[in-house]
């Protein structure tokens, strides 16, 4: 059986951005067909950076609402902090990982010199591996930036199997969308990120059409007056906008380029605004409705999904615990 595990951190306000949506969330409803799936609001991972406890619950609720509004089945969504088996398995896995291995993780290397960086940032990939292996996952939908972490989960699965002397754990493999990395629309050299210093380059699922239009009109383009040539000949800034349009409209990048031949870059931006209005604004409206009128429904979904997740993870972790010679 194909077992899928994926998640999204409720950092910032909790709203996913376009990179989260196109890189993972949009594909989940299609990926989970004929599969057993678990979609996690990774609230514990969100505590590896500075956070406000009073805001974390709100942002987690908004992340769950965003997943539901984007078409993820409400019965497979759960909250990481509600499933303690993740933490137990993370301890066992930490004994199989080396310090050097953790220090080579890109995310840690990028942030290790920042003030106030905690041990959680170093150990974060181990907990992520536990998130995956708690369900004996076979497939992990993820952005390309998470490839290293999924590789670690696979490595730790092999080490645990070797320790217990049998191939109990599946070796998880990443599943990338064809365009897994969406860049900042102001600074196309950087990945779209909630932590970006200038949020005008980040498109969120909860942006109003006015806010989105303002951001898109500021997007970086080219100095040429007219759009010419095919996709491969465009600058990184233009390619990024074309990719967003093609993914939202579910047409090829070549189709976008054909429609824009001889037109101005303002037409490219208007095409993106139209795609955003058609495909993202309905999601935003559903998120707003749930957050303003039906938060109890979101909590009920999280509670039921977490109960389901805990049942599965408890069964797997109990087996692992016993095979490691622990427990009764």
Name the residues annotated as catalytic: 111, 191, 194
**Rounded-to-integer distance, Cα 200 and Cα 163, Å:** 49
Q: Tell me the two tokens of residue 140.
A: 């992990």
Alpha-carbon distance 276 to 268, whole Å?
12
SS3 225: coil
Residue 136 near residue 312, CB atoms below 8 Å: no
H runs (alpha helix) in 112-252: 119-133, 147-164, 209-217, 236-249
The Cβ of residue 313 has, within 10 Å, a number of other Cβ atoms equal to: 25
CA distance 115 to 183: 26
Measured between alpha carbons, how far is residue 177 from residues 25, 104, 141, 234 in Å?
A: 10, 25, 8, 21
Structure-token pair, residue 314: 């408890």
Residue located via tokens 């505590």: 47
Closest of 15, 313, 20 to residue 7, by C-alpha? 20
Q: Coil, strand, or helix at residue 179?
A: coil
- What tokens were used for 313? 């993870």
């Amino acid at each position: 059986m194909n077992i899928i595990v994926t998640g999204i951190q409720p950092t910032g306000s909790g709203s996913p951005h376009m990179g989260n949506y196109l890189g993972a969330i949009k594909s989940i409803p299609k990926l989970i067909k004929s599969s057993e799936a678990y979609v996690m609001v990774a609230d514990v991972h969100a505590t590896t950076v500075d956070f406000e406890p009073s805001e974390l619950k709100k942002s987690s609720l908004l992340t769950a609402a965003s997943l539901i509004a984007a078409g993820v089945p409400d019965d497979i969504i759960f909250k990481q902090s509600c499933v303690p088996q993740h933490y137990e398995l993370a301890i066992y896995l930490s004994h199989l990982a080396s310090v050097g291995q953790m220090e080579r993780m890109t995310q840690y290397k990028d942030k290790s010199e920042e003030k106030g960086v905690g041990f959680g940032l170093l150990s974060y990939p181990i907990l992520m591996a536990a998130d995956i292996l708690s369900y004996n996952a076979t497939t992990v939908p993820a952005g390309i930036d998470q490839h290293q972490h999924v590789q670690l989960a696979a490595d730790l699965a092999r080490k645990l199997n070797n320790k217990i002397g049998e191939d109990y754990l599946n070796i998880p493999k990443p599943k990338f969308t064809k365009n897994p990395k969406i860049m900042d629309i102001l600074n196309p050299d950087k990945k779209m990120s909630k932590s970006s210093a200038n949020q005008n380059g980040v498109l969120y699922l909860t942006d109003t059409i006015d806010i989105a239009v303002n951001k898109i009109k500021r997007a970086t383009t080219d100095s040429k007056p007219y759009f010419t040539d095919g996709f491969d000949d465009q600058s990184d800034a233009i390619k990024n906008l074309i990719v967003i349009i093609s993914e939202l409209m579910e047409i090829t990048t070549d189709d976008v380029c054909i429609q824009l031949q001889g037109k101005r870059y303002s037409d490219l931006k208007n095409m993106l605004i139209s795609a955003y209005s058609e495909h993202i604004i309905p999601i935003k409206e559903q998120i707003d409705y749930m957050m303003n009128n039906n938060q109890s429904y979101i909590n009920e979904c999280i509670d039921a999904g977490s109960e389901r997740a805990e049942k599965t993870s408890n069964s797997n972790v109990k087996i692992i615990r016993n095979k490691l010679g622990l427990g009764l």
